[in-house]
A and B are shown apart, each in its own frame.
Chain A
Amino acid sequence: MTAVPTLTPPRARRFAATPGQIALALAIAAFLLMFLVLPVATVIYVAFTDKGTSTFTLVNFYDFFRTELFMRSLWNSFYVSAMSVVWASVFALPLAYLTTRFVFRGAALVQTLGFLPLIMPPFVGAVAMQLFFGRNGSVNLLLDDWFGFKIDFMEGLNGVIFVQSIHYFPFILINLSAALRNVDRAMEEAAQNLGSSGFRLFRRIVFPLAMPGYLAGASLVFVKVFDDLATPLLLNVKDMLAPQAYLRVTSIGIADPMGYVISVVLIVASVAAMWLSARALKGRDYATTQRGGGGLAKRVMTPWEAVLGYGTVILILALVLAPHLGLLLLSFATIWSFAPLPDAYTLAHYGRVFGESSVYIKNTLIYASLAGGIDIVLGVAIAYLVLRTKLIGREWLDWMASAALAIPGVVLGIGYLRTFYGVTLPDGTPLASLWITIVLALAIRRLPYALRACYAALQQISVSLEEAAENLGATKSRTVRRVVVPLMAGGILAGFVTSFSTAAVELSATLMLVQSNSDAPLAYGLYVFMQSAAGRGPGAALGVVAVILVAACTFLSHLIIERSQKAKGLGH
């Protein structure tokens, strides 16, 4: 062959994005800047200003690292988050493993019930939990009666770990289950064939192969616990970072930058945790590229294994659903005070809720659906741009969206008021007073959940399937619409459900933005009820309604997607 001078441009050109992709990236960046970065920046810039002069300074951070309370809080937050991940894993692992790798009767039910703890309505949830596990809750009163001792489930840091791991373990359950379903059965069999079995098999082969899913879930749990302020405050634990930030930001009459300094620390720590978990998987090839038999074949348990398996599942479910049971009892209770069970039962609370609160329910459904919808559109778009294009700075979209996880709701709420209240519609109504602002705030707060789900779903689709479509003449956008999105449907749905159901019970940002009772969502209704002794029963009833509603929507969307998957021949 003779040397032919190459006239083609350098290879790198091949990776340049299409104009459509650039436009999409810019649009998303603009959206995030407008509704996330800008509002938050208007609040936390205080962290970088000097007292009195308002000039730029880092002295506040110096103060932060020098204050014993903050250092203790920082350490406690790390400790509690890490331990919550451990315990959440203990709850999630058996449920995920048993329901995905074995023929397990009621696996779908376990998966649905295992999702419920994530939908814990604010305030009432904590009250129900105290009534069950508290120092004088049902369990401890009975223990004290029968055996003369009590267990401090809900005391101090351990209490926070207990409640948080119950609350957030579904993140691990959902992600790990998806990953386990994708582990090729041959991988497991090859190990058995070489003499491995039981827990060693799980530890050495199955679990490492499901690592991407596990890490996705675990990092979410870590960050959520790190940034959650409601649970520590309800357990009266104040020496953690998120509650410290909240207490300082919302104290009246005090203009202290420390609250915002802590917010900045929270955001940095959360993004770092996400980055680390992504980093840990980088350059590794996992379950996604496996071929062959597929992971859907399930093993049959021996009778002995079945007893152990069902026993474990029932025990875990009983533990993690106890708060919901407590909530249900509370909603029917007349008076429940210092007793294992309520004094008497009534239906009156439900009567009051249905009479007064249907507007909250309607609003919640609208807001949460819209927020979930926005989230999956953004989630798919960001995941696609990050994973499938070579746009410069595309990871920043991911980091930005993920950082939303770490922003305290109250900071976002204040930021929205500050940024959008001055902007008025032609008739003089401030932009921030429209209910769409609540939807946007919810969408931003829950975007990280949907994004992670869409990301994982896209990672599991072989690029060759898209190349095949392009080869057959489909443009990039048509390929996305006709091949990528249908294949991602499961992940998209998971993202929607997570966003939707957690948005439905979101409180902190909403509380700041609600402008009128007629625009208020359910969480606000709960808050209003839970401010008085007489409101406890109706509050619990509203909480039950919320849980049932969200669970029903979750289940319904599962059914819909399963049916359409089956129609496409994708399901099992």
Chain B
Amino acid sequence: MNAPLSLTTPAVSVDIAGVNLSYGSNHVLKDVNLAIEPGEFFAFLGPSGCGKTTLLRLIAGFNQADTGHVRIGGRDITDLPPWKRDVGMVFQSYALWPHMTVRRNVAFGLEERGVKRAEVERRVETALGLVGLGHLADRRPSQLSGGQQQRVAVARTVAIEPKVLLLDEPLSNLDAKMRVQVRRELRDLQQRLGLTTIFVTHDQEEANTICDRIAVMNDGIVQQVGTPMELYERPANLFVAGFLGTANILKGRVVGSDGARAFEVEGGVTVPIAETTELPENPTLVFRPQHATFAAAGGVAGEDALGLPCTITHREFLGASIRYGVRIGSTEVAVDMPFQSGSELRESGSQATLKLSPRSLRWLPA
């Protein structure tokens, strides 16, 4: 990839305010509010059926909101038809037209805009150069590999110099190795163009590795917006906690009051709660597998650490670490221990004490 594309328009923001959308009785988007910064690489992340693609298509103009507004660079585009929005979209299936060559595919949007022929040719060259496919311009889409097709789809979209770039699961049709390569290329391209980009995916790893910020969606609702690290460290709810990485979730109830508060995990084990801790309604205790360790035989070291009696149920070797299945009360959780050769392994069935730092605990509403 060489010749940078000159973008005359500065990056713009995308604001989504109070958007609701229903298909009959099926409420697909529920009061969605998002503010996407200019030049940001933003992801809509969630399981299939969460409404992320619907939201993306709404920005492109293929779906109409029942209520709410979409603004791009401050301009309300809610009622504009798709072809007047200047929002470039790369489709999941790429949607390359089989009856046109690569060159004609890329030129299409420019021709529709009435760009002069010479200028069209120049910009097609630039766009194809940008994705490194200049030499395949006269092939037909069916003669290209999946990765190449994907890059043509991107080139076709950026050729029109859109204000916003929308990517609908652009990596889902690629193999694992290509996926890693292409996502890096996409990030690279976005950085060079400085283009506000929205990326739809169900794969948290994809979102984490290339996006500035992520909106986690479920059931038509934006669950949380934040950088990948914020979402991992401070999930706003059980769904976010569980969707990004592995989370251990202990259900139970609060017993006692004030300084003598404790959390009784289902199945009997009790965890004391620090006086300063603010608890949500009906709390659940959440921690990541790598945030727990086993106490050395004989007791809990360290004053504020919590010790929970537990039983080892099974063991998996993951390479860099060993994952233990551990039962606390009636709940099974995962505990990751770094693997060092020669270190002592715990056998399944043995009793142990799980050591947790209060700082690594999250109290989330059930």
Find B108's partner among A196, A211, A287, A292 (CB 8 Å cutoff).
A196
Alpha-carbon distance between A289 and B95 when the two chains are bound, in angstroms: 11
Find B93's partner among A194, A204, A292 (CB 8 Å cutoff).
A292
> Binary interface profile of A, 182-196, with partner B (CB < 8 Å = 1, else 0)?
001011011111111
Number of residue pairs A-B, CB distance < 8 angstroms: 90
| A509 located at the interface, meaning its Cβ lies under 8 Å from any Cβ of chain B in the complex | no
> Binary interface profile of A, 226-248, with partner B (CB < 8 Å = 1, else 0)?
00000000000000000000000
Task: Pick out which of these stretches binds chain A: B84-92, B198-206, B258-266, B343-351.
Answer: B84-92
Alpha-carbon distance between A74 and B91 when the two chains are bound, in angstroms: 50
Find A286's partner among B93, B99, B109, B112 (CB 8 Å cutoff).
B99
Alpha-carbon distance between A184 and B60 when the two chains are bound, in angstroms: 17
- Interface residue range, chain B: 20 to 34
| A49 located at the interface, meaning its Cβ lies under 8 Å from any Cβ of chain B in the complex | no
Q: Are A292 and B99 in contact, with the CB atoms below 8 A?
A: no
| B245 located at the interface, meaning its Cβ lies under 8 Å from any Cβ of chain A in the complex | no
Q: Are A204 and B142 in contact, with the CB atoms below 8 A?
A: no
Q: Are B108 and A204 in contact, with the CB atoms below 8 A?
A: yes
Q: Which chain A residue shows the least CB distance to B153?
A: A190
| A209 located at the interface, meaning its Cβ lies under 8 Å from any Cβ of chain B in the complex | yes
Contacts of A430 on B, CB cut-off 8 Å?
Answer: none
Q: Are A186 and B113 in contact, with the CB atoms below 8 A?
A: no
Find B157's partner among A184, A194, A284, A287 (CB 8 Å cutoff).
A194
> Binary interface profile of B, 92-113, with partner A (CB < 8 Å = 1, else 0)?
1101111100000000110011
Q: Which chain B residue shows the least CB distance to A190?
A: B95
| B4 located at the interface, meaning its Cβ lies under 8 Å from any Cβ of chain A in the complex | no
Alpha-carbon distance between A227 and B127 when the two chains are bound, in angstroms: 51
Q: Which chain A residue shows the least CB distance to B60?
A: A193
Alpha-carbon distance between A215 and B87 when the two chains are bound, in angstroms: 35
Q: Which chain A residue shows the least CB distance to B140?
A: A285
Taking the closest CB of chain B, its distance from the CB of A75, in whole angstroms, is 32
Q: Are A197 and B83 in contact, with the CB atoms below 8 A?
A: yes
Contacts of B108 on A, CB cut-off 8 Å?
Answer: 191, 194, 196, 204
Find A193's partner among B89, B97, B99 (CB 8 Å cutoff).
B89
Taking the closest CB of chain A, its distance from the CB of B91, in whole angstroms, is 5
Contacts of B88 on A, CB cut-off 8 Å?
Answer: 193-194
Interface residues of B in 231-262 (CB under 8 A from A): none
| B317 located at the interface, meaning its Cβ lies under 8 Å from any Cβ of chain A in the complex | no
Q: Which chain A residue shows the least CB distance to B87?
A: A193
Q: Are A196 and B95 in contact, with the CB atoms below 8 A?
A: no
| A568 located at the interface, meaning its Cβ lies under 8 Å from any Cβ of chain B in the complex | no
Q: Count chain A CB atoms within 10 A of each CB in B82, B108, B141, B156 and give the residue with the most.
A: B82
Q: Count chain A CB atoms within 10 A of each CB in B89, B99, B157 and give the residue with the most.
A: B99
Known A290-B93, A292-B92; judge A194-B112 contact (CB<8 A).
yes
Taking the closest CB of chain B, its distance from the CB of A213, in whole angstroms, is 13
Alpha-carbon distance between A193 and B160 when the two chains are bound, in angstroms: 10
Alpha-carbon distance between A287 and B93 when the two chains are bound, in angstroms: 13
Contacts of A205 on B, CB cut-off 8 Å?
Answer: 97
Contacts of A200 on B, CB cut-off 8 Å?
Answer: 112
| A208 located at the interface, meaning its Cβ lies under 8 Å from any Cβ of chain B in the complex | yes
Taking the closest CB of chain A, its distance from the CB of B84, in whole angstroms, is 8
Q: Are B83 and A290 in contact, with the CB atoms below 8 A?
A: no
Alpha-carbon distance between A346 and B142 when the two chains are bound, in angstroms: 63
Known A291-B93, A293-B93; judge A194-B99 contact (CB<8 A).
no
Find A289's partner among B82, B89, B98, B112 (CB 8 Å cutoff).
B98
Taking the closest CB of chain A, its distance from the CB of B245, in whole angstroms, is 30
> Binary interface profile of A, 397-437, with partner B (CB < 8 Å = 1, else 0)?
00000000000000000000000000000000000000000
Contacts of B83 on A, CB cut-off 8 Å?
Answer: 192-197, 201
| B299 located at the interface, meaning its Cβ lies under 8 Å from any Cβ of chain A in the complex | no
Alpha-carbon distance between A196 and B108 when the two chains are bound, in angstroms: 9
Contacts of B87 on A, CB cut-off 8 Å?
Answer: 193
Taking the closest CB of chain A, its distance from the CB of B106, in whole angstroms, is 10
Q: Are B95 and A194 in contact, with the CB atoms below 8 A?
A: no
Q: Are B112 and A195 in contact, with the CB atoms below 8 A?
A: yes
Contacts of B93 on A, CB cut-off 8 Å?
Answer: 184, 186, 290-293
Contacts of B81 on A, CB cut-off 8 Å?
Answer: 192, 197
Taking the closest CB of chain B, its distance from the CB of A469, in whole angstroms, is 24
Taking the closest CB of chain A, its distance from the CB of B210, in whole angstroms, is 22
Alpha-carbon distance between A193 and B84 when the two chains are bound, in angstroms: 8
Alpha-carbon distance between A291 and B95 when the two chains are bound, in angstroms: 9
Alpha-carbon distance between A184 and B94 when the two chains are bound, in angstroms: 11
Q: Are A209 and B140 in contact, with the CB atoms below 8 A?
A: no
Contacts of A196 on B, CB cut-off 8 Å?
Answer: 83, 108-109, 112
Q: Which chain B residue shows the least CB distance to A186?
A: B95
Q: Are A209 and B99 in contact, with the CB atoms below 8 A?
A: yes
Q: Which chain A residue shows the least CB distance to B57?
A: A189
Q: Are B109 and A209 in contact, with the CB atoms below 8 A?
A: no
Alpha-carbon distance between A454 and B95 when the two chains are bound, in angstroms: 27
Q: Are B95 and A187 in contact, with the CB atoms below 8 A?
A: yes
Interface residues of B in 28-77 (CB under 8 A from A): 60-62
Contacts of B95 on A, CB cut-off 8 Å?
Answer: 184, 186-187, 189-190, 292
Interface residues of B in 131-157 (CB under 8 A from A): 140-142, 156-157
Contacts of A197 on B, CB cut-off 8 Å?
Answer: 81-83
Taking the closest CB of chain A, its distance from the CB of B107, in whole angstroms, is 10
Known A193-B60, A194-B156; judge A284-B89 contact (CB<8 A).
no
Q: Which residues of B contact A (CB under 8 A)?
A: 60-62, 81-89, 91-93, 95-99, 108-109, 112-113, 140-142, 156-157, 160
Known: A194-B88, A285-B142. 15 other contacts (CB 8 A): A186-B93, A190-B89, A190-B91, A190-B96, A192-B61, A193-B83, A193-B89, A194-B157, A195-B160, A196-B108, A201-B83, A209-B99, A284-B98, A290-B93, A292-B91
Q: Which 3 A-B pairs have the closest CB atoms?
A: A292-B93, A194-B109, A190-B95
Could you write out 24 A-B pairs with CB less than 8 Å apart? A186-B93, A187-B95, A189-B60, A189-B95, A190-B89, A190-B96, A191-B97, A192-B62, A192-B82, A193-B88, A194-B108, A194-B112, A195-B83, A195-B113, A196-B108, A196-B109, A197-B81, A205-B97, A209-B97, A284-B98, A285-B140, A286-B98, A287-B98, A293-B93
Q: Which residues of A contact B (CB under 8 A)?
A: 184, 186-187, 189-197, 200-201, 204-205, 208-209, 211, 284-287, 289-293
